[in-house]
Every structure is written in C-alpha cells, then in structure tokens.
Chains A and B, each alone.
Chain A
Amino acid sequence: GQQLNQSPQSMFIQEGEDVSMNCTSSSIFNTWLWYKQDPGEGPVLLIALYKAGELTSNGRLTAQFGITRKDSFLNISASIPSDVGIYFCAGAPQGAQKLVFGQGTRLTINP
C-alpha cells in the first residue's frame, strides 16, 4: 500500500529556533494534512492542503503542498515550549477517501 516517508524522525532544538520537517510519497496525493499529537491525546489537525503548490499558514506554522503532489513540508518559526510533541503528516492518495499517515517527527525543545 501507499507509504509516507516523514523526516526527520526526531529533532532537538533550542527555544526560538525555526523547525522544518517534510513528507514524501512514491505516489500522487490529492490532499496533505499536518497533525500534532501531545502525550495522551489524539492528533489535532494543524493545516490542510488541497492544491499542488498551495502554501498555507496558521500562526507560526507554514505548510506547502509540493508541485509534484508527492511531497509536503511543515515549518515552525520561532519555536516555543508548547510546540513540543509529535507531528504527523497525512495524505489522501489519488482516488482514495482515506488518510495514510507518516511515522511522525518528535520535536523536543530545550529552553
């Protein structure tokens, strides 16, 4: 089945630094989503992307839907302690009405 390759698997940064993570797929996706999961909670939707090339921001978060429709990235600017958590990319393969999830990027922030 389709798989998403998400990188990096983990990040250790200083508070205030910018963060970048990405997801790639071997097949075309119609939708890219980015979620954040805090310990003991369910994933929370951060940003949804529906068109190739689309660039969308949500506060300090910015995500883009790659032109080839096979990749997406998420940037977090000026990180703060509450950004700690696991970030997941998710995509809807062409012709499918369901999401495939990446393996997640665990973000740790040193104050």
Chain B
Amino acid sequence: DAGVIQSPRHEVTEMGQEVTLRCKPISGHDYLFWYRQTMMRGLELLIYFNNNVPIDDSGMPEDRFSAKMPNASFSTLKIQPSEPRDSAVYFCASSFIRATEAFFGQGTRLTVV
C-alpha cells in the first residue's frame, strides 16, 4: 500500500484566498484524522471521521475551516478565507478499527502571505 497520500505537498497562497487540502487514506482504514502542526502549538487534532462521518470537530479553530469525507478514499480540508496565522503543516492520518493507532501522510506545508 502507498500509505496516506496528501496533496499538495506545498501551498503558498495570498490572504483571503480559498485553500483546499486533499487526503487519500490507506485502503480499508475506517478512521481519518486531520492534524495541524506548528512550532508554538505542536500537533493539534482538528477533526476526525469514522466511516466517513465526522465524529469530533472540536479542534477546528473557527468557521473558516471545514472538512468533508464524501467517500472512504477521499477527504478534504478547506480554509476560506485563509489568513497568515493559518500557516502550518497540515497532516492527514488514518487508522483501522483502533482510532488511536494512526498512520500519517507526509503533510501539506501551507504558507499564507
């Protein structure tokens, strides 16, 4: 298996623009997580899905952030409008049965200028 696949690897955008990050989880995994990593706050869980259904979105910072999982093999994290403080590395992770043993993608480094 190719592992969790994220795209793009790098994204540079101007403040106010819409940003969409994409994730393909490991085939057969039924949990999908979106994390954000910054130097100041470390790794933060934004939202996670079980069988394509959002279970906990308490980590989503504000209404500008939204996530969808239309099917078992694809998820998106959208930021609209983007702000400089959204600059971070965003990781997608997936797991099978146990929500805790998560396997991470390579991340998307987002820079908002």
Name A residues whose Cβ lies closer than 8 Å to a Cβ of B: 30-31, 33, 35, 40-45, 48, 88, 90, 92, 97-104
A98 touches B33 (CB 8 A): yes
Among residues of B, the one whose C-beta sits closest to the C-beta of A93 is B100
Shortest Cβ distance from residue B22 to the other chain A in the assembled complex, whole angstroms: 15
Segment with Cβ contacts to A, from B11-19, B42-50, B66-74, B75-83: B42-50
Shortest Cβ distance from residue B91 to the other chain A in the assembled complex, whole angstroms: 5
A97 touches B99 (CB 8 A): yes
- CB neighbours of A43 from chain B (8 A): 43, 91, 104
Query: Contacts A42-B91, A45-B102 known; A99 to B45 CB distance under 8 Å?
Result: yes
Using a Cβ–Cβ cut-off of 8 Å, how many residues does chain B contribute to the interface with A?
Answer: 22
In the bound complex, how far is the Cα of B41 from the Cα of A103, in angstroms? 8
A99 touches B102 (CB 8 A): yes
B100: which of A33, A40, A41, A42 is its contact (CB, 8 Å)? Answer: A33
A103 touches B42 (CB 8 A): yes
B102 touches A101 (CB 8 A): no
- CB neighbours of B55 from chain A (8 A): 97
Interface centre among B31, B50, B104 (most CB of A within 10 A): B104
Q: Known pairs A31-B100, A43-B91, A98-B45. 12 more at Cβ < 8 A?
A: A41-B107, A42-B105, A43-B43, A88-B43, A90-B100, A92-B99, A97-B99, A97-B100, A98-B99, A99-B33, A99-B45, A101-B42
